[in-house]
Amino acid sequence: MQIECYAQRLLNPFRGVVHTIRFQSAEAVTTDGIEWDIYVANDALLEGLGRAGKRAQISDIRYGHWSAEKGLKRGPLYPSDDFRRLEEMGAVVYEHLLKAHRDVPFAFRDQFELWLLDRNNQPLALLHSVRTHSETDTRPPLDWRAGMAAQERFQSAAIAGQAESAGAYLTRHVNNLASGVAQWFCRSDDGAGLGLHTLKGGEHLSGRVLEAEAFPPLFIATAGMDAAHTRLVHDYHAWQAPWMLLLPHLDRTTRSALEASACQQAESIEKHCRLYPAVIDRAALQAARVEAALVRSQPRPQTSDDVMPMFYIELNSTESG
């Protein structure tokens, strides 16, 4: 019985990490290490489709929701032979979840990355990542996005006086630097990337190998940007700091700087800190968690920003680029 435990980034924009426990077509997923959703899918529907290796989409059925504090809350039950088989898969994942939920963060397994290229055919911005080569047949949007939340809440003094929001401006600026070509890479353990197929041209780039230094560790390249736009990108990374700290590959200097920025967003730290693979200044992060607890203890009106679905999708994110 093969059970997989792995982490995968949520991208375009980068907005966190999902940790998964998977058995066959059942999985338990979490973005905070506390609340877990369990889904099953009827993979028998794929039999005999003859899709020549192409992937087909099948709908997930909610097996249940689990947390250590509240236990398991089951989803709807369906009296059918198919559903009994799905129940068995879901039960395997649930039983493993009870043993493994404290083992997060899991190792990242999304080593296949789709990068928007600049006009020199170098990686400019990370668009998507998947776990297997077969998944690279997906067709995500080929424009980079700062995200709806950034358009509403991200601010930067680097572009003071601009009529549009900092998020909208950054989105436009990054895409203006792009060649329009995107390329899949398979990243190795040392960070190097083997170039695979390309989208929207650039066929001659297939098969090349780029060293680790060619891939910006925070997913947006600033090479060639002037000081103001470099500052804008750095401010965006600081705004993303509570999520960036989920990444395992950060050097000590970068992680320390991101922790300092993240402490300005105490509630976001509280949502993600259980999944941080390392902490430099534990006292500062603990102080931020105390601050978040004090904020939560104060009554406040419910707003649409208070609830974020686990797999929220940016508008038009499923359209082809």
Q: What is the mean pLDDT of each run of 10 residues along the chain (321 residues)?
A: 94 96 95 96 59 53 95 84 85 97 97 98 98 93 96 94 94 97 97 97 96 97 94 98 96 97 93 95 94 80 45 38 37
Q: Say if residue 121 is in the same domain as residue 224.
A: yes
Are 169 and 74 contained in the same domain? Answer: no
Do 269 and 167 share a domain, yes or no?
Answer: no
Compute the distance between CA of residue 321 and CA of residue 318 in angstroms, rounded to an integer: 9
Q: Are residues 127 and 212 in the same domain?
A: yes
Do residues 61 and 139 both lie within one domain?
A: no
For residue 209, which amino acid is it?
Answer: V
Q: Which residue, among 128, 57, 66, 127, has the nearest Cα to 93 in the 3D structure?
A: 66
- Looking at this protein, which amino acid is placed at residue 294? L
Does 294 lie in the same domain as 271? yes
Q: Read off the DSSP letter of residue 133.
A: G
Residue 248 within a domain: yes
Please name every residue paired with 125 in a beta bridge, in sequence order, or none if there are none.
116, 220
Residue 128 CB neighbours (<10 A): 23
Pairing, β 178-187 against β 123-130: unpaired
What local confidence, expressed as pLDDT, does residue 300 receive?
58
**Both 191 and 288 in a single domain?**
no
Q: How many domains does the chain have?
A: 3
pTM here is: 0.87
Residues 23 and 91 in one domain: yes
- Signed CA dihedral, 194, 190, 133, 240: sign only: negative
Q: Same domain for 262 and 222?
A: no
Q: How many CB atoms lie within 10 A of CB 223?
A: 13
Instruction: Please state the length of the chain.
Output: 321
- Does any domain span residue 65? yes
Domain-terminating residue out of 48, 82, 103: 103
pLDDT of residue 319: 41
Distances (CA, A) of 65 to 7, 36, 82: 19, 6, 21
Determine, yes or no, domain membership for 11.
yes
Q: Is residue 143 one of the residues assigned to a domain?
A: yes
Based on the fold, state whether residues 155 and 226 are members of the same structural domain.
yes
For residues 94 and 38, the answer to whether their CB atoms sit within 8 Å is: yes
Whole-angstrom CA distances from 321 to 24, 134, 171 are: 31, 19, 15
Residue 125 corresponds to which tokens in the numbers above?
């911005």
Task: Classify residue 145: in a domain, yes or no.
Answer: yes
Residue finishing a domain among 53, 82, 103: 103
Number of CB atoms found within 10 A of residue 185's CB? 24
Judge whether 79 and 94 are in contact, CB under 8 Å. Answer: no
Range of the domain at 138: 112-238
Cβ atoms of 114 and 198 closer than 8 Å: no
